[in-house]
A = this chain, B = another copy of it.
Amino acid sequence: MFDTVCPTDLMPIRVGDKWTGMIIRCLEHAPRRFSELRVPLRGITAKVLTQSLRTMERDGLITRTVVTGPARQVHYELTPLGRSLLVPLNAMCAWAEEHWDALIDAREAGLSRTG
């Protein structure tokens, strides 16, 4: 049924790691620089952001462009493949918005039963 050929690791379906989904959103409308990404992603450390970015680049979801000039700049931009992830991502967000309350309620009820 679920072939072992389908390792969850390869599956960006869960939209990668903790930050991948948010990064895609941040790059949705325009390319961004490293520092620009750190703003909306409150709390992310440079190391973790770099890690996520590198993984996404390796997987062909984004491109990395170094702009040498007066001040160093690195631009990150969605590839067509990365952009295509917006579809399932939107589906996920739509679900979340629609069922968020039910989810919270269910969890609270569940917790009250088990501790």
Query: Does B12 contact A103, Cβ atoms closer than 8 Å?
Result: yes
Cβ-neighbour of A95 out of B87, B94, B107 (below 8 A): B87
A4 vs chain B, min Cβ distance (A):
7
Set of chain B residues within 8 Å of A40, measured between Cβ atoms: 1-2
Within the assembled complex, what's the spacing in Å between the Cα atoms of A8 and B4? 26
Instruction: Please state the number of chain copies in the assembly.
Output: 2
Query: Does B103 contact A10, Cβ atoms closer than 8 Å?
Result: yes
Q: Does A111 contact B (CB under 8 A)?
A: yes
Q: Within residues 1 to 56 of chain A, which ones have a CB less than 8 A from any CB in chain B?
A: 1-2, 4, 8, 10-15, 18, 21-22, 25-26, 40-43, 54
* 3 residue pairs, one from A and one from B, having the closest CB atoms: A60-B106, A58-B110, A91-B91
Set of chain B residues within 8 Å of A57, measured between Cβ atoms: 110
Query: Does B18 contact A8, Cβ atoms closer than 8 Å?
Result: yes
Closest to A3 in B: B42
Closest to A79 in B: B106
Could you list some 8 contacts between A and B, CB below 8 A? A1-B22, A13-B21, A13-B95, A14-B14, A60-B106, A81-B102, A85-B95, A87-B91
